Structure 1
Amino acid sequence: MRTKRILFISLGFLGIFSCLNPAGAQEKDQAVLNLFKEITAVPRCFMYERNMGIWLQNWARENGFQAEADSTGNVVIRVPATKGYAQAPIIVLQSHMDMVCEKSSTATHDFFKDPIRIKQEGEWLAAEQTTLGADDAIGMALALAIAKDSPSRHPALELVFTVGEESGFRGINALDGSFIKGRVLINLDSELEGAITIGSAGGRTTGISLPVKSEKLPKSCGIYTLKVDGLQGGHSGVDIHLKRGNAIKILARVLETLKSHAEIRLIELKGGSRVNAIPRQAEAVLAFDSVRSEKIRKIAKDLEQILHQELALTDKGLTVTLAPFEREKPSKGFTVQDSSRVISLLAALPDGVANMNPRFKDVVETSNNLGILQSNADSITLVSNQRSSSLAGLGELTAKIRNICFAAGATTNDQNSYDPWQPNPDSALLKRGKGVYRKLFGREPLVTVIHGGLECGVMAAKFRNMEIIAIGPTIQGAHAPGERVHIPSIGKVRKFLVELLASYK
């Protein structure tokens, strides 16, 4: 069955490209997609990229290229210059191996052994109930396809594939300066065809811990599960401006409403799974007087209707349910006082856009995502991810979170941090890229910055004289089920990249 499905998808790709490109371009674009399918068949959740690194090194050897891996797991494949380009500068094509592994609540997919099940929806590729991993498998596929395309003309290339991009830039931070020789870098992790990205946000991850006391639950208490589900989620950087619901914040809002009508005792809390993904699900196990159950359930249902109206354009699938607890009933819960402190902290913590970028229209400057919520018998823990293109903005928002936590009796710990990639509008590489794009497509590319974090900022700090831009095909909904990549945009990016490399003669 799987063989038939892949064949169907492959023929579908060719059908779309045949409408857009001459025969030679169709074959080259199909080569990118074939590589993309091979990459998505290799499990590569962040922190578990080892097999992807082995696959890349094997691919290099099979195609006659030198490959090297460093102690962290980053891989570089060295591609010789073609005839006439020996004196041109070495070009680095950089992408990352890992993906954010998210799936719907009903999916049975095992990210540690199952290949991504790709499906085609018109001009888009998506996955069955999981993230697609086009972020950044499509960047990897483009780099490999360029290297293997023997008729193409290009300088010497260093194809750099990093690990841990989705977990605090682990690989790029550990990259030794001697690992690569090129000082012109084209990052392939941007997500909008027609745009040349020249800057990105910096980030900081803050862990939060609030101690709580537990006590025996009164016999009059019933135990219930409050669940927020069905949200769209998305990338905590590039989708944060879309005002999609954050399941943890919605859970806090519902709990805060309920506690004004009954003595709430929290027992368990959980929500979100990735700090860089907007939470789609959150739930609380709680206890309150059984006599008030019907009233409390009605309040929760009424609030669900209000939330449906507020989030009608972004999260049509939202559900808020309050149901009797179905597992073995616990005997203890947080005290009423500490339950109230927890709810107040969850409600007070910021989430979403703090302010917009004054230099680039419709681009967020500073934001945060309350990404993970967990609890045990004596504490609750939260993880917030702050982003900003301004170091001052990053510091101010982190300080605000720290102060809110301090007032609530919680402690904070900054876990990961990386600086913004500051734009250089006078870059020679940008000027060259704009000229090539204009010649190919008859219009100016959009020159912009993004609110997501790109490894370019770390590379710029490591190599002060490095020329850097980022490009990529159009991807929507990264870091959540429903992630998709626009097939025609892949061919346009490939064509642009081929001509940009050829321009160095």
Structure 2
Amino acid sequence: MSELSQLSPQPLWDIFAKICSIPHPSYHEEQLASYITAWATEQGFWNERDEVGNILIRKPATPGYENRKPVALQAHLDMVPQKNNDTLHDFTQDPIQPWVDGEWVKARGTTLGADNGIGMASALAVLADNSLQHGPLEVLLTMTEETGMAGAFGLQPGWLQADILINTDSEEEGEIYMGCAGGVDFTSSLELNYEAIPSDYQTMKLTLKGLKGGHSGCDIHLGLGNANKLLARFLFAHAQRLDLRLVDFNGGTLRNAIPREAYATLAVPSQQADRLKSVAADYLLTLQNELGLVEKNIAFVVEDITHAPQALDVRSRDAFIALLNSTPNGVIRHSDVMKGVVETSLNVGVVKLEDNQAKINCLIRSLLDSGKQSVVETLTALGQLAGAHTLAKGSYPGWQPDGSSPVMALVRTTYEQLFDKTPSIQVIHAGLECGLFKEPYPQMDMVSIGPTITGAHSPDEQAHIASVGLYWQLLTALLKAIPAK
């Protein structure tokens, strides 16, 4: 933690270091929430939590700024828990270990939690710094954003007093976000039947690993490998040909993270064992040829393991593999309106065999409600063909761009004055909470800004130190420039 104490601006980095020291993955934010409310009370700030656990803190205006439009700074409390396979880390118990690597802050073997910990730290740093000039100020910290936006869904009208909301969950300095994609979770569940494995079979484990992974929205256009899909492709090509019996399949851990690893346990006829190893080696060469420019560390490992007593029967095996292999993944369509922006995508995030069922969990994103619905219908149709039960749930709206937004124009002007260059106005292919905030607060003017964070939702996550400083300059100058009511 002492490394971060040497960075500027302070106390932002010190607060972020404290956030890292308190476990706060999704559904386990309570310890961090309690710390923040206790700190706010100690500082003399009004604070309150609502029924779903969201935190609201208020700070009075700087003298002379009482007539300015009130502003809410907003971040979410939770982080995405992802770690490397060889990293021992319990996200519910162990602190994140940030360290400085040149121009970047990283974590040792895990996600850093800069998404949205830097934004949260900046909001708390504004509260802590009495030298800043600003109007009436609120800080809103929401619960469980990363796994369904529970806090945003539960936000009630009439609680916030702000006219303007500044979301701090963007991840590219120099870009101003004025809209985002909506999303919906989709699960296909396939009933499975098992049978005994013949005695002349041996059991092997296939491990596809070494992929980068990443954010299933912001990184979906980068051509990264999806471990679930790549392993399904191999099984579809060879399961029938080599009479492979599927014992287990397990890939990915979160529906909003591109899966980095997937595992299949197989029983193979003893006389085909060497052949399996040979075609696996060939497949690795194929993947390296196809993905080598973006996935430099891809690995496909075949190892002997203890004999398993049963596997899927042939009909269940073929139905599962065909369903997973045919499920679309990645970019479905680019936007015609916002050039260079993904309109619709999906991520085959988590696949598991458990309780005599195969479950394929996807996250669909789209700037258009009709785009989401189109993919839901495609996956529903695939489920019908495979005999699977399908369920779409947890739909949340996108944030429709408002080209006449006064706060967006103010951010652009402030950025130009500070840095003598024009920022990029963007719509992000990720789920920001602003779309949900618009329902209880339809008149609230909103914008999203943040520093440069790469590799979010993966252990490669890192925050660019200099960009955090630029973001802090913009945020504090913006608060000072907020106009009168």
2:370 equivalent among 392, 401, 412 = 392
Mapping 1:242-253, distance limit 5 Å: 242-253=222-233
**Residues 1:476 and 2:446 aligned together:** no
Letter in 1 for 2:392: D
Q: Indicate yes or no: 2:382 matched with 1:404.
A: yes
Aligned to 2:122: 142
Does the 8 Å contact 1:366/1:389 carry over to 2?
yes
- Structure 1 residue 372 corresponds to structure 2 residue 367: no
Contact 1:214 1:377 in 2 (8 A): no
| SS of 1:469 mapped into structure 2 | strand
* Equivalent-residue separation in structure 1 for 2:309 and 2:14 (angstroms): 55
Quote the residue 2:184 is aligned against. 204
Match of 2:440 in 1: 462
Distance 1:497 1:171 in 2: 24
| Secondary structure in structure 1 of the residue aligned to 2:11 | helix
2:409 and 2:429 map into 1 onto residues whose CA distance is 22
On the 8 A contact 1:92/1:182 being kept in 2, the answer is yes
Partners of 2:12 and 2:157 in 1: how far apart?
A: 30
Alignment check: 8 A CA contact 1:90 1:184 kept: yes
Q: SS state of the match for residue 141, structure 1? A: helix
Give 1:120-131 correspondences, 5 Å limit: 120-131=100-111
User: What SS does structure 2 have at the residue aligned with 1:461?
Assistant: coil
Find the aligned partners of 2:12 and 2:84 in 1 and give their Cα distance. Answer: 28
**Which among 357, 369, 382 is matched to residue 335 of structure 2?**
357
CA apart distance, 1:313: 1.7
Instruction: Provide the rounded CA distance (Å) in 2 between the counterparts of 1:75 and 1:102.
Output: 25
Question: Which of 2, 24, 34 is the aligned partner of 1:7?
Answer: 2
Structure 1 residues 503 and 363, CA, compared in 2 at 3 Å: closer, same or farther?
same
1:426 partner amino acid? S
2:310 matched residue in structure 1: 332
Q: Which runs of 4+ in 1 moved over 3 A?
A: none
Match of 2:426 in 1: 448
> Within 2, Cα distance between the matches of 1:250 and 1:61?
51
CA contact 1:264–1:339 (8 Å) conserved in 2: no
* SS of equivalent residue, structure 2 residue 422: coil
Aligned equivalents of 2:311, 2:136: Cα separation in 1 = 63
Give the corresponding residue for 2:155.
Answer: 175
Secondary structure of 1:365's counterpart equals: strand
CA offsets 1:276-335 (integer angstroms, 9 cap, x no match)? 000011111111211111111100111011101111122111111122124xx3211111
Q: Does 1:46 align with 2:41?
A: no
Is the 1:434–1:444 Cα contact (8 Å) retained in structure 2? yes
Question: In 2, Cα distance between the equivalents of 1:435 and 1:307?
Answer: 47
Aligned to 2:61: 81
In the other structure, the counterpart of 1:193 is 173
Q: Which amino acid aligns with 2:55?
A: V
Q: Distance in 2 between matches of 1:156 and 1:204?
A: 35
Name the count of aligned residue pairs.
483
Matched-pair contact (CA < 8 Å) for 1:43–1:113: yes
Q: Which residue of 2 aligns with 1:309?
A: 289
Q: Answer yes or no: is the 8 Å Cα contact 1:261–1:296 preserved in 2.
A: no
AA partner of residue 278 (structure 1): I
Distance in 1 separating the partners of 2:3 and 2:178: 38
What one-letter code is carried by the residue in structure 2 that aligns with 1:266?
L
Cα distance in 1 for partners of 2:460, 2:254 equals: 16
> 1:162 maps to which residue?
142
2:396 to 418, 429, 433: 418
Contact 1:264 1:340 in 2 (8 A): no
User: C-alpha separation between the residues in 1 aligned to 2:230 and 2:254?
Assistant: 17
SS at match of 1:346: helix
Stretches of structure 2 lacking an aligned partner (at least 5 in a row)? none
Contact 1:245-1:311 within 8 A present in 2 as well: yes
User: For residue 258 of structure 2, what is the amino acid of its counterpart?
Assistant: I
CA apart distance, 1:9: 4.1
What amino acid sits opposite 1:270 in the alignment? N
Q: How does 1:55-94 map to 2 (within 5 A)?
A: 55-94=35-74
The match for 2:202 is 222
Question: Which residue matches 2:273?
Answer: 293
Q: Which residue is equivalent to 1:432? A: 410
Per-residue deviation, 1:30:
2.3
Partner in structure 1 of residue 97 of structure 2: 117
Q: Which moved more, 1:189-198 or 1:336-345?
A: 336-345
Q: Deviations over 1:377-415 (max 9, x none)?
A: 521111010000011111101110111111011111112
Shift of 1:176: 1.2
Distance 2:123 2:74 in 1: 8
RMSD: 1.1
Q: Once the 2 structures are TM-superposed, how far is the Cα of residue 260 of structure 1 from its aligned partner?
A: 4.5
Whole-Å Cα distance in 1 between the matches of residues 338 and 17 of structure 2? 35
Matched-pair contact (CA < 8 Å) for 2:454–2:463: yes
2:402 & 2:30 partners in 1: Cα distance? 35
Q: C-alpha distance in 2, partners of 1:397/1:199?
A: 21
Shift of 1:475: 0.4
Task: Tell me how far apart the structure 2 counterparts of residues 137 and 364 of structure 1 sit (CA, whole Å).
Answer: 26
Percent identity (aligned): 37
Alpha-carbon distance, 1:179 to partner? 2.1
* CA–CA distance in structure 2, aligned partners of residues 98 and 207 of structure 1: 23
Letter in 1 for 2:81: C
> Which residue of 2 is the match for residue 19 of structure 1?
none
Change (3 A) 1:30 1:323: same
Equivalent pair of 2:155/2:437 in contact (CA under 8 Å): no
State the alpha-carbon separation in 1 of the partners of residues 90 and 276 from structure 2: 37
Shift of 1:459: 0.6
Q: TM-score, normalised by structure 1?
A: 0.94
TM-score under structure 2 normalisation?
A: 0.98
Report the alpha carbon displacement of residue 207 of structure 1 after superposing the two structures with TM: 1.2
